[in-house]
Structure 1
Amino acid sequence: MVMILGTLYNNGYLCPFSHRVLIASRELNVSIDTVYCADIPAAVRAVVPDGGWPVFVPSDGGEMLMDSSDIIDHLIDHSGDSGRNFRSEQEALAAVEALVACIRKVTMAGKPTIQREYRQKLDLALARVDEIRRGADGPFLGGDHFSQADCYVAPFLHRLPFMVEIRDHIPEIFIQEDGFRAWVDRVVNRPSFQEIAPKRYVLRQFYAENAKYGKPMKVGRLHHSGFRGMWADLSARVSGLEHRVDRDNHSLQEARDLCYLLFRTVALHAKFENLILFPALDAATGDSLFTVDGIEQHEHEVGEMNSLLELFDRALGQKPGSRADTLLVLATEVERVKEGQLAHLDYEEATFMPVLAELDVEQHLEMLRGAYEMCILERPHVIGVLTSYMPIENVLSLLDSLLQAVEPASEQWRQLLTEIHAYLTPEKWLRVVRRFEESLPTSLMVVPSGSRHGSFATAARALEAAVPVDRIEIPKAALHTKTGAFPPKD
């Protein structure tokens, strides 16, 4: 008869501290019972403080253990030789516990300043764990065997790619240190953990819903990175025209199509800000004029964008080889409008994002869904080009966010992914496949060959056919100007 060492009680299935205990029980080959959620007896619930799970009641009548490290020590003490081999030195345990503390602080702080502080501490904690790994003379922190310290950190390493607040600022060690990444994979793929590891889509949903950084704020920052990339390319293309032999309209038309797609995307982004985001920020600050400078900048940009498109059209209407002066003016205007829009992006990030970070998660999700519905017709035709200019980490974050507004089995999700697939490089798309393999249509699991194969012309014509416009416009909320009839602040 197998001896049961006790019962583990936990108020949820995703608790990483509970997973620690389950990993240890498997590594030590000891048996414990598990009781979850509604099945927990009232007598146990009565003595456990909020957030105090898991707890363990030993079968030998010992006192209830209320810390995962104490529970694992108890299992080690009752597992003979396997326990002695599994136990780690205090130095290693302290290092991984410091790492876990930093991870939890970043994800639970909810304030950018605190999160930045603990991201820096997280980098140091990861470096300390890696130092121990390097000195362990083996594939694990315990040297040649999976140890207590590896067990402690495995559930948290498994979660890192899905923790919104960390994933968007991935520590450099994950990029630079092959040995560290190999250790992470060994630990996370350990059979004792994989038997009980949460599915990736479950973690993705959980951390998206509970992120302390709101989604629209993150999406806005991601869009900004795409705008900056598109502007850089447009600037390079137009400035290069005056140095080429001007034989035809091909390069100029391609630059015009890129400019058109950029401006339509910027206008969609500004529409969301004017109608959804800015009213929320005004309400949050209690200042009805808090965002008015942003709205007035949008009005200014409407004129700038339409004028620049008209200048492109004027150049296209002139005979190749005889429009050098127009191309020079065009290059100058592109630089001027670019600098103005980039300065506005910097202003928004510095002024609005700190306020947005203080809103609760449900407000963020509501705004995200509103933004998606507002742009549902245009988005499929611009998202491919936009994401092709984003760093891949931002593309992955954007898709994570969209999954809060779009069902993964829906035609809308398929359409968005199809457009992104058409524009990303094979290397970038492979990253998408790895992250979203559980929610990708089968046909899109194939990595595209060659470089980006979608064209600006195709996207521009499709967008114009779907939502034709005579000129770029950005709607705004009623009475939202400095001269509008706002009541005075209290």
Structure 2
Amino acid sequence: MYPFNPNKPTLYTSKTCPFAHRTVICLAETGVDYETIYINLRDKPEWYPLINPASKVPAMRLTSGDILVESLIISEYLSELYPQAGLMPEDPFDKYRIRIFIENFSANLQTSPYVLLRNGDNDSKHAKLNELVNKLHQLNKLLMESSPEGPFFLGEKFTLADIATFPFIERLFMAAKLLGMSIENISGLERFYQWSDAIRNRPSYKSTVASYDELAASYKRHIPK
């Protein structure tokens, strides 16, 4: 058998995993009371495949005994279960805008922290960072087109568009710093920085994000030796 709380949802998570962080932010926004069980991703418990046969986090056990997997699907489930949190708008076109933004991000920037770290030798890291900065300029353009005033993707509304994407950007900031580089103060990314600052100052984000040291300790193994 595996551990769980029979009286409230149980979240199986990792503090440094960006996918899991999506769900944790959503839970914080909804105000749901839940149990947290941390999974060591490098030494997973023998019982964890009973929760998720793919052995990935997050996973969430409901009090009904049903188990939810896949961070984006769990996040959408929570947004529908708690519509008062406003994580997904009612307007169908705004829902489309959020989903296409997440899809675009997933195709272009979701793997960026790992890509940068795996090219962490001096010969290739600067070239790879320049490639990623070009993609950040495209992200800046998308944010401007969606809401020039900001601060979030849908203006004043904090939604799944922000929750599903920024945990990976946080890790990109970390990866650049870990390699002795930076993606701070780059001309032309003003809307991107406004977006980043607004999310970092959101209580649901501030209270759940891992520290730089925690992230660096987890991710430095991706740097070639």
Q: What is the TM-score with the length of structure 1 in the denominator?
A: 0.37
**Deviation of 1:212 (Å):** 0.7
User: 1:140 touches 1:146 (CA, 8 Å); kept in 2?
Assistant: yes
Q: Does 1:181 align with 2:196?
A: no
User: 2:139 touches 2:192 (CA, 8 Å); kept in 1?
Assistant: no
RMSD between superposed Cα atoms in Å: 3.4
Which of 51, 54, 57 pairs up with 1:53? Answer: 57
User: 2:152 touches 2:158 (CA, 8 Å); kept in 1?
Assistant: yes
Q: Which residue of 1 aligns with 2:104?
A: 95
Q: Which residue of 2 aligns with 1:105?
A: 115
Q: Does 1:84 align with 2:94?
A: no
Corresponding residue SS for 2:213? helix
Corresponding residue SS for 1:8? strand
Distance in 2 of aligned mates of 1:146 and 1:135: 17
Q: Does 1:153 align with 2:148?
A: no
Q: Does 1:71 align with 2:85?
A: no
Q: How many residues align?
A: 206
Distance in 1 of aligned mates of 2:60 and 2:124: 33
**Residue ranges of structure 2 left out of the alignment (5+ in a row):** 1-6
User: 2:23 touches 2:58 (CA, 8 Å); kept in 1?
Assistant: no
Aligned sequence identity (%): 23
What pairs up with 1:282-297 in 2 under 5 angstroms?
A: none
Q: Which residue of 1 aligns with 2:144?
A: 134
User: 2:162 touches 2:199 (CA, 8 Å); kept in 1?
Assistant: yes
Q: Which residue of 2 aligns with 1:27?
A: 29
Larger Rg: 1 or 2? 1
User: 1:23 touches 1:193 (CA, 8 Å); kept in 2?
Assistant: yes
Q: Does 1:212 align with 2:216?
A: no
Higher relative contact order (CA 8 A, sep 6+): 2
Greater share of helix: 1
Q: 1:205 to 1:89 in 2, by over 3 A?
A: closer
Q: Deviations over 1:253-300 (max 9, x none)?
A: xxxxxxxxxxxxxxxxxxxxxxxxxxxxxxxxxxxxxxxxxxxxxxxx
Q: Deviations over 1:231-255 (max 9, x none)?
A: xxxxxxxxxxxxxxxxxxxxxxxxx
Q: 1:28 to 1:46 in 2, by over 3 A?
A: closer
Distance in 2 of aligned mates of 1:148 and 1:191: 15
Q: What is the TM-score with the length of structure 2 in the denominator?
A: 0.73
What pairs up with 1:243-254 in 2 under 5 angstroms?
A: none
Distance in 2 of aligned mates of 1:149 and 1:104: 21
**Deviation of 1:42 (Å):** 4.7
Q: Does 1:7 align with 2:18?
A: no
Q: Deviations over 1:115-162 (max 9, x none)?
A: 677545523432232122112322111221111121123323333333
Q: 1:202 to 1:89 in 2, by over 3 A?
A: closer
Q: Deviations over 1:138-191 (max 9, x none)?
A: 2111221111121123323333333158754544x8411333222211112211
Corresponding residue SS for 2:196? helix
Q: Deviations over 1:348-396 (max 9, x none)?
A: xxxxxxxxxxxx3xxxxxxxxxxxxxxxxxxxxxxxxxxxxxxxxxxxx
Supply the AA of the counterpart residue of 1:58: L
**Residue ranges of structure 1 left out of the alignment (5+ in a row):** 214-359, 361-490
Distance in 2 of aligned mates of 1:190 and 1:181: 14
Corresponding residue SS for 1:85? coil
Q: Which residue of 1 aligns with 2:4?
A: none
**Deviation of 1:69 (Å):** 0.6
Greater CA drift, 191-200 or 110-119:
110-119
Distance in 1 of aligned mates of 2:64 and 2:50: 21
Distance in 2 of aligned mates of 1:118 and 1:57: 40
Q: Deviations over 1:67-125 (max 9, x none)?
A: 21111011112112434339662221113323112333333466788867754552343
Q: Which residue of 2 aligns with 1:37?
A: 39
Supply the AA of the counterpart residue of 1:182: Q
Q: 1:165 to 1:198 in 2, by over 3 A?
A: closer
Greater CA drift, 183-192 or 116-125:
116-125
Distance in 2 of aligned mates of 1:109 and 1:55: 31
Distance in 1 of aligned mates of 2:177 and 2:223: 7
